[in-house]
Structure 1
Amino acid sequence: MATKQSENLLLQQVNQLWGMLDEMSESNPEAYHKFIQHHLGEGMKQLTAPEPHGCFQTRMMEPSERLLYVNLCSWSRVPAPVCDSDPVPLAGGTLEEIIDSTDTYSVTDIAYSPEVLQKASKDPVERDQLIRLAMKSIEEQHCVHLSHSYRLLTQKLKGSNKQMRQRLSGRSEPARGGSGGIDATLLQLLTGLKLAGREQEEEASPIRLPGDVQHPKNPGLIQEISSTEFECGGKVETPKYEVSVMEDENGKANSVELKVELPGVSSVAECDLSVSKDDVVIDVPEKYRLRLNLPETISEDMTSAKFNRKSHVLSVRMPILTK
């Protein structure tokens, strides 16, 4: 319950806000109009709920093995990257364990901007990249290890819309403004407009880009995910490696060769190798982890690997897929 002091502080801030708006409407009507339109638009985005876009199934390997269903959702609160070279922002939901009469499985949700999902729906390669980015983010956020294979489902959503939205919001009810005062960022912005006599656009956005995230002590409406490696207990290093594209006698590329130095590893049994047409993942639990995008599309079925115990080097040969 709000105290009398907090109520007085709130009333004081409200009066300050309206005073600044009134002054700006008279001194700079154009900036006032743009400011109001901008925040009305941002407000509509904040009120928009995520919508189901698609669902895929993979398997959680650690800490316990079970099926994992991931709902890919479209949410206007998640910004689209400014250009193709920028990281793709996303929002991750909580991980929910479901126990029914026949099986135990888990469900979680990953939300992208509508523009990103619309573009990926027309390009299978981009769709695969978004799915793998979602899997990597789930591993980092929930400290789990997933299989690198997945299966697209015909259904758009596992569970109900209400459950999906609750997992993405991290709470059973939508977040509401507290009674402790007005957003300081808004007051600072208005103060800047008043002093400068010109418009200054607010730079705060609901989700930061991956790699630029500082997690709050209490989870907000959107849980922000970093693109950096998440350390689950111990430190996992990226090993030294070398990638080469080999050519045949006619100068045509015929294979991709990867050599990875793994000091402290004594057997190939310690290595978990996963190869797809365009990337490779090498995982040595609690020691090393390497994920690479390959320069060529390779044949997964013809891939071979060998481990040199003396030099502790893992060599992987991946024939290039003929077109």
Structure 2
Amino acid sequence: MPELPEVETVRRGLAPAMEGSTIHKLELRRQDLRFPLPENFADAAQGRRIVSLGRRAKYLLIDLDDDTTIISHLGMSGSFRVEGEAASQTPGGFALPRSKDEKHDHVLFHLRTPQGRSRVVYNDPRRFGFMHLWKRSQLDAYPPFVGLGPEPTGNLLDADYLARRLGGRTQPLKGALLDQSLVAGLGNIYVCEALWRAHLSPLRKSGSLVTPTGRPKKQLLLLTEAIRAVVADAIAAGGSSLRDHIQTDGSLGYFQHSFSVYDREGEACGTPSCNGTVSRIVQAGRSSFYCASCQK
């Protein structure tokens, strides 16, 4: 499942091609993905200008000029690609295979811009992704967005906020950080990486990072900085590119080459002067990778 950095990479890749363009035609090659596509989807989008592309947690937001937003989730294998008039397939080299079979091209945005025509194609072999229509002015009421925590890329995420939410909690730190009501968009990969950077065990009790008076301890300050830094680094590298994820130009990001603990079970810990090795444990059905020697 793509995490926040992957979706942000997709947003940034699509924005130059889609923002300011007009949807000449929305071509639907099937009526459902994970869920049925919106009723009258093609008619609602036709002729509309794309004002901007945004993101909330792991959801891509395509804002139209009539206060309508197309909300898209990539699921396990969904991807977008941009095609110009002179190209029959997207450019870019990549290390892992991706779907090029047109039978998996399910939603096609035929666009018009002052520079010419192009199309943006949504391809999804497993069809775990989905698209919904919602009023932009009422996005906070979209069910998956209700109760979402702040973005890890925004100014609302700071140590004082986390101290208010974590104080008194006995839940393991890893599970708390995966709670989308605490921080929106964080997933398994980047939680493991942030905990390693902050030298905190995924098994540590969440409330242990908060003083009896409700103030963040030094470790919580370090964790907050680590969360923001690892997400920023992953976005800059183009996401982790695990399994099916690709950028919109067809290429793969390479943050996975910078993983310090994720999927590195049995390898030496990268912390200077640490002689430990990376271990894997299972927490609530998810793999946690960490170094027991330096993450306490």
**Which of the pair has the greater relative contact order for Cα pairs under 8 Å at 6+ separation?**
2
Task: Please tell me whether Structure 1 or Structure 2 has the larger radius of gyration of its CA atoms.
Answer: 1
